[in-house]
Amino acid sequence: MGRQGFTFIEILVVMVILSVGLFVLMPRLAPRILEPVPPVEKEVDSVIAKALQRARESGRAVEITFIMGSGSFRMEDEEYRLPGGLTVMDALVNDDRTDDLAVTVRAYPAGIIDYFELRLSDNSRLVSRPLLAEVEARG
């Protein structure tokens, strides 16, 4: 007679594997699911994604330039605006503060970006996560 169904131990092993997987993934996924993504974060992330795509296609770094005291920023020949009338007040790139009027961040063909931190006019900050090639808004 053939075996029908699973043993208790087999079900228990599958439950443990699924639990460990959820335990590892939830801290990363929960903030994105529970909290809405601010429009400024969405806008900058979309430009970073475009820059990475161009960098991969061309095999060279693509520059994104933020203009200090302004809500505009550029990627090559395209101009963008930070939503909500926000402006960039202060910036660090690769842990260096700049006194220049323009701050340049690079997206590389390898799929990473420079580390940067932008302080915006509402005193929030956009902080990059270079290896994930995205930003995080911090109040």
Q: CA-CA distances (angstroms) from residue 65 to 1, 7, 14, 30, 123?
A: 72, 60, 49, 31, 20
Domain boundary assignment for the chain: 39-138
**Which one is the CATH code of 39-138: 3.40.50.720, 3.55.40.10, 3.40.250.10, 3.10.450.50?**
3.55.40.10
pLDDT digits (tens, 9 = 90+) for 31-78: 666 667 788 888 888 999 999 999 999 999 999 999 999 889 999 889
Find where tokens 């994104």 sit: 64
Report how far residue 40's alpha carbon sits from residue 32's, in angstroms, rounded to the nearest whole number.
15
pTM of the full structure = 0.69
Q: Tokens standing for 69? A: 């005291």
Q: Which run of H or E residues covers position 75?
A: strand 72-75
